[in-house]
Chain A
Amino acid sequence: MKKYKFSILAAFLLGFSACDNKLDLEPYQSISEDKALSTEQNVRAAILGAYDAMSLGGMWGGNAYIISELAGADGEVRWVGTFDGLRTIFNHQLIAENGNALETWTDGYDAINRCNNVLSATSIFRDADEKSQVEGEALFLRSAAFFELVRLYAKTYEAGATNSQLGIPLVLTPTRGINEGSFVSRATVEEVYSQIVTDLTTAKTLLPDDNGTRAGKFTAAALLARVYLQMGRYSEAKTNADEVINSGVFSLVGDYENCFNNDDNSTEDIFAVQVSAQDADEPTTWVFYSIPEFGGRDGDIEIEQKHLDLYPAGDARAAYFFEGNGAVRSGKWRNQYRNIPVIRLAEMYLISAEAAVRAGQSGDEAFNAVYTRAGNTAKTGVTLADVLLERRLELAHEGHKLHDGKRLRNTIDGLPYSDPKLILPIPAREIDANPNLVQNEGY
């Protein structure tokens, strides 16, 4: 009897200790790091993850456009919303704890890390073409992220100068753990731009001519044109812009209004963020530009008369604004869940025209391609002022305002172009987490 009792006891204890293997659990919604980049299929998904990162609210999904337009508003738009992050950017009272500045920084480096992960794994592709395509895409996206960040968080690139001012950290390897190498310092503006130029130049050679809605050779060329323009290297900008224009891959859309609020890329989209209703949480351009009727918030960004007055009479672009909730709104960001154009062919024409005029050549043809599309009569003897005004109109509210203002050394809201208030703070959280980072002036 006693034996029997104790065997019950022993059975219980044994039964419990057999549970040990039940402590080995694997997650269902995630996979381990070593598996993640171990197959071609996975790396194909990982590069799409990098595209997705660029569509986040901190990047092309919102802030990259909105911060530039609000900080560079100069009375042409007004922020009337209740969110203080963007309000303080608009009225130049921002502080190092600004949430939008943090969001853009972390989303940007998230995108960069995703690209670096892809770049570390492309040797898995057996097909050499696919390998170079994916490599080219990762380089393009990483350059794009660096370019957005360096323009927002560092003093502007001064054409023809040494540009030894502090830029942003250049992170070129994937993060696999946190170690000493994770505490990076800021590279100079020159170093950042030269990395961008090198990478985009490489990407151009790697990418196929046509890559659907993803980045192709001419996407890299178009971004390079934009980068060179910012650097004041006009002839190189023109070469790249012309390469895109002459590629025959893209053509201007007949009606200006068909350039925006599209589900699919238009013929002039050199690159656009692909958006669907599944991305409800991500992009935010329309959230602030639009009104509740179309899925926006309260209509936080209003277009001011000062901007509307710039358009020639009868200009189709002026007609594209709409009135709603008691103010004038940009039609470009009216509807939710629509693609976000990042680079349009019209910009290439205007880069080409500007570079031509600056070089003493005629920019008429390139200028008029854009100018007449908006219903205006062609001009001859186009001046630099004509082209620059045309940029303001054609590319209004597409994220160029602040960067063009700095490039052209304009006074913005009464502040000189180089004013520290026009530069975002390195997020306070980053300064706390990484003692090697130096804060920007004024924060």
Chain B
Amino acid sequence: MKRILLLSMLLCCMVLTAFSQRSVTGRVTDASNGEGLIGATITLKGAKSGTTTDVNGDFKLAVNSDGDVLMIAYTGYETQEVTVGNRSTIEVSLNANNILNEVVVVGYGKQIKSTLTGNIAKVGGENLQSMPVVSFEQALQGQAAGVFVESTNGKVGAANRIRVRGVGSINAGTEPLYVVDGIPLSKDARNTAGAAMNPLSDLNFNDIASIEVLKDASAKAIYGSRGSNGVVLITTKTGSSGKSKIELDVQFGVSQPTGRREFLNASEFVDYFTEAANNSDDLEGVAYDDPNSWTAFVTSEEDGRFRRYSGFNNSWKEKVDRTDWQEEALRNGSIRNTTLSFSGGNDKIRYYASGYTGNIQGIIIANGMQKNGGRVNLDFNATSRLKMGVNLNVARTFTDQVTNDNAFSTPMQLVALAPITPTRDEFGEYYDRPVTTYYNGLLETEESQRRVSTLRTLGTVFGDYSFTPNLALRVEGSANLYNVNDAAFFGDRSEEGNDSNGAAYAAAAFATDYNTNAVLRYNREFGKHDLGLNLGTEFFSSENTRQYAFGEQFPTDDFRTLASAASITDATSTITEYTFLSYFGRAQYNFARKYLFNVSGRVDGSSRFGKDNRYAFFPAASAGWVLSEEEFLKGSPISFLKLRASWGQSGNADIGNFAALGLYSAGNYNGSSTLQPEQIPNPALTWEKSTESDFGIDFGLFNNRISGEVDYYVKNTSDLLLNVPVPGTSGFSTQTQNIGEIQNKGWELTLNTNNIVGDFTWSTSLNFALNKNKVVALADGQELIDDGGSRYMNVVKVGAPIGVFYGAEYAGVDAQNGDALWYVNAADDNGVILDPNATTNDFSEANFVELGSPLPNIIGGISNTFAYKGLSLDVRLQGQTGNNIHNAGGGFMSCNACWFDNQTRDQLNSWKNPGDITNVPEARLGYSNGDQSRSSRYVEDGSYLRVKNVTLAYNLPTTLLKKARISNVRLYVTGTNLFTFTRYTGWDPEVTTDFLASNVVYGVDFYAAPQPKTIVGGVRFTF
């Protein structure tokens, strides 16, 4: 009865007003790209009636008079008021409001950004979409302040490294925790035998709705013992109620190396090495024509090295280039990606489903990857109180791997071979040693295959039950099943198989991670008070099994699996596991969105620690004050201003599974099993702890045309899980102890500006971060951990940044005799250098000093977006400065002909006559004259600025498309790594050789593959 009454009153009102009404039509678009906004609400100010835009952003609404004001609102955008006037069509473009109403994902929940008290960097999925890179982390590079991203090299599928606010550990993990839709993902490289692979490269980043990086303690302490290195929350797309949407994105492209080095050609090679041999003879006082001379060793027409390298003939005398080995290693790569997705739903059920296939051929030979996968995200309202959902992702990848940078078989090591050596003999077979100086890696392309296939199933089921409108319980269960198959074959001429008639291995690893959590949440607003409480518990377990077998003696190269191996020489299987059990809670309170408070705590226990120290508590507290809500700022140009402060602790448990135990392991000798000590016990072993303070200001000016964030933080990581070097006389090298401290402190700035608005828009987004890393303390009495050996020099040194280069300071060349010189740098007990000018030609007399840090002190990115109508151009620069690169391969390729490796062309400047001023010592074959790799001779400035990404896109006019029932067609061209500005003379300044990459080793170039420069063209259809 009541309802009928109401309805008839409403009808009356409508009839009454209908007389003076007219209607306006219009369109609501996104100011940044001109695309129509679906579902924006348009209401008449002061009235209850309104409408929403359709799938193209169009609307139609009845108005009463010219003086009516339309309020156009869209979640995440600034609400606009428009006076109708005498217009009948109204075009409105809305600016994204990334300050007031933007919702961000936080640990175990979501929050309105303006009420945040912690520091969270958000990167929207639109910034990742269609990027022609292998893995989503690469797309993040330069997009979030304080988030350092590095692809260790240009191999397809190579590991990427992300460091949030600096390097926080020496021996425990330094990667952030990755959480995909609530599932913590281990980034352990789980492949079994070959080079490290990136296990996250199978995620399709077109599925990603947003990535949030939790940076400060307040944001990440809820992840307790796993949060110390930051947390990367990845949220995948979900459907929304409304019309179904189909999207198809197809792209093709090509890639090339970003850089090349110059090597000696055949003529230079012959001349230079003859000169080097002559010089060595001069040094020894041996006549060049003496059969035992170096000169004869090189140039003898009967048995000299040139003859050998020419294929046992004297064609070297013609000085004609036979092979440009660098070009043999590199090639043009290609990329091809297709993604198809469907999304939609109604008020009961929402879905997002996608499938993709990608094929990337690398810029070095025999390296590529194929990816296929699919995802279904489904959620539905089972009852009015119970919402349930399933997210399921299946991905399959095949990677053709090349060996690690230090292997002779890796393509980039081909550059060491002589330009006088042809690739193939007269029968068309590849030459190998002794004709090639080292193993001819081209044999790998014919003789070997290394294929890693992975299958990942990532699934979550959740239920969310509302007991009352304020109280709800969410329970999630998830599984991450990751299967790696690694199969390799090495033919009977390959390096691995040439002594055993072919060799092969088969390896399989299976990782099963289960995670379950239950979170009870309570939200209540009373008056201006807003209270939120979370209470939860979580259990995580991970089991890894691995099998490996190696066999030799194959009948022919056509048989490539172990079934055909006559001899199995190695086989093993292992199992390992670890668990975490946690309880956590969080309370948030704000008054009138003006005064903000947040406290959280987590208790974590892990199997990885000694029984007595198994549990730890990680607290955090933070507060914020939104000054712009105060009266005194109302009406000023400052449209938003918030001060934040946070303090908290988080932990790091990312170490080996049984580091606390004293262990013996088994081996074999003479066919019998053996037992040997493996690890010294440390029952007191526990978490590494980070204590972090953060002060921040969020601001918006001129109606948020300019907005940004500034943060200052200090992060102290103490009780480091340090593999303390112990005297080798104990029979052990290291013991994992909780000792030492690292500090990272710095500034972060994010600035977003809408420079020009209107038909033509120009917006800029800038971020940069300054971080200072310092090792504060190591074990008692210990100042240095140096595992560099004679060739590498990243060390851990108290008072210096982690991984600082530590070696001899190169002093150039003695102008009188061509000897390489180093500064002696002898110091007194206080570390004061006694005679800074003293030099020596005896490397072992040179005292090691710090030679620069491999870590950048400033990283940043700036992106400019221009849009006019349907046309948009996005240009993103990314760079870093303050870091150095150690070209450790220089000791071979730039060593003034110390041995037969082909030399870089700059070596031609070597010292020749007394009085010559040069930086390259005299060429002396077979001698160390400055080739010692641990010297500043091979350290260079590694700063760079890159045109990381340029995207030109055009959205076809909708009028054209309507008939074809296509709602949008976007044509685009994207280039990545287009230009690189750097002083580094190697292939590419973004480098850390893969076989060494660790927490301590950064910025080392040892035949690491250059990064790819990629250009793709694509089209995206939206139906």
Contact = CB atoms under 8 A, between A and B. Distances in A.
Interface of A: 5, 8-9, 12-13, 16-17, 19-20, 22-25, 27-36, 42, 45-46, 48-53, 55, 82, 84-85, 87-88, 91, 93-99, 102, 105-106, 109-110, 112-114, 116-117, 169, 171, 174-178, 182-184, 213, 274, 276-280, 291-296, 298-299, 305, 325-326, 336, 427-430, 432-435, 437, 442-443
A14 to B, nearest CB: 10
A417 to B, nearest CB: 20
A23 B674 contact: no
A187 to B, nearest CB: 11
Contacts of A174: 677, 731
Contact of B670 (A88, A184, A276, A326): A276
B975 to A, nearest CB: 38
A432 B733 CA distance: 12
A95 B487 CA distance: 40
A16 B535 CA distance: 13
A297 to B, nearest CB: 9
Interface string B816-848: 000000000000000000000000000110000
Secondary structure type dominating chain A contacts? helix
B728 A433 contact: yes
B669 interface: yes
Given A88-B790, A109-B731, A184-B729, A82 B892 contact: yes
A16 B518 contact: yes
Interface string B884-922: 000000011000000101000000000000000000000
Contact of B674 (A46, A99, A326): A46
Contacts of A36: 664, 675, 677
15 contacts: A16-B518, A16-B537, A16-B538, A27-B658, A30-B663, A30-B679, A48-B670, A94-B844, A102-B728, A106-B733, A110-B676, A178-B730, A183-B727, A298-B433, A325-B434
Contact of A12 (B439, B518, B672): B518
Nearest to B471: A5
Given A82-B438, A87-B928, A95-B932, A432 B726 contact: no
Contact of B789 (A16, A20, A102): A102
B969 to A, nearest CB: 49
B433 A109 contact: no
A442 B735 CA distance: 30
B666 A45 contact: yes
A19 B539 contact: yes
Contacts of B473: 8-9, 12
B209 interface: no
Given A23-B581, A442-B844, A434 B729 contact: yes
Among B578, B672, B676, which residue has the most Cβ atoms of chain A within 10 A?
B676
Interface stretch (B329-337, B569-577, B642-650): B569-577
A357 to B, nearest CB: 33
B788 interface: yes
Contacts of A16: 516, 518, 537-539, 581, 583
Contacts of B538: 16
A430 B728 contact: yes
Given A97-B934, A292-B433, A430-B728, A48 B499 contact: no
Contact of B578 (A25, A95, A213, A299): A25
A294 B577 contact: no
A109 B670 contact: no
Contacts of B570: 278, 280
B576 A274 contact: no
Given A82-B892, A84-B790, A432-B725, A52 B674 contact: yes
Contacts of B655: none
Contact of B292 (A114, A184, A305, A427): A305
Interface stretch (B246-254, B778-786, B870-878): B778-786
Interface in B747-771: none
Interface string B556-594: 000000000001011000111111010100000000000
A433 B658 contact: no
A94 B303 CA distance: 30
Contacts of B680: 175-178
Contacts of B583: 16
Contact of B790 (A28, A95, A279): A95
A50 B731 CA distance: 11
A432 B781 CA distance: 10
Interface of B: 292, 303, 308, 432-434, 438-439, 467, 473, 475, 495, 498-500, 516, 518, 520, 537-539, 541, 550, 552, 567, 569-570, 574-579, 581, 583, 605-607, 611, 614, 657-658, 661-681, 724-733, 735, 781-791, 843-844, 891-892, 899, 901, 926-928, 931-934
Given A33-B661, A98-B789, A114-B677, 8 more contacts: A28-B576, A31-B663, A32-B663, A48-B672, A95-B932, A169-B729, A291-B433, A295-B500
Given A33-B677, A52-B674, A293 B499 contact: yes
Contact of A82 (B292, B725, B901): B901
A435 B784 CA distance: 12
Given A29-B574, A295-B499, A433-B726, A276 B677 contact: no
A25 B543 CA distance: 11
A45 B728 contact: no
Nearest to A425: B844
B434 A326 contact: yes
B502 to A, nearest CB: 13
Contact of B667 (A8, A27, A49, A176): A49
B270 to A, nearest CB: 18
A22 B539 contact: yes
Among B308, B433, B475, B607, which residue has the most Cβ atoms of chain A within 10 A?
B433
A159 B518 CA distance: 77
Contacts of A176: 662, 680-681
Contacts of A9: 473, 520
Contacts of B843: 93, 95
B669 to A, nearest CB: 4
A22 B581 contact: yes
Contacts of A28: 574-576
A342 B605 CA distance: 52
B728 A427 contact: yes
Among A30, A428, A433, which residue has the most Cβ atoms of chain B within 10 A?
A433
A278 B434 contact: no
B727 A51 contact: no
Contacts of A12: 473, 475, 518, 537
A102 to B, nearest CB: 7
A182 to B, nearest CB: 5
B569 A280 contact: yes
A408 to B, nearest CB: 25
B730 A175 contact: yes
B664 A23 contact: no
A278 B499 contact: no
A340 B518 CA distance: 62
Nearest to B550: A280
A24 to B, nearest CB: 7
A25 B672 CA distance: 28
A433 B673 CA distance: 32
Contact of B576 (A29, A175, A430, A434): A29
Nearest to B579: A22
A51 B928 CA distance: 37
A284 B790 CA distance: 20
Given A25-B579, A25-B607, A113-B730, A175 B901 contact: no
Nearest to B807: A97
A284 to B, nearest CB: 14
Nearest to A296: B499
A175 B732 contact: yes
Contacts of A98: 789-790
Nearest to B683: A177
A87 B567 CA distance: 35
B581 A95 contact: no
A19 B661 contact: no
Contact of B677 (A99, A117, A292): A117
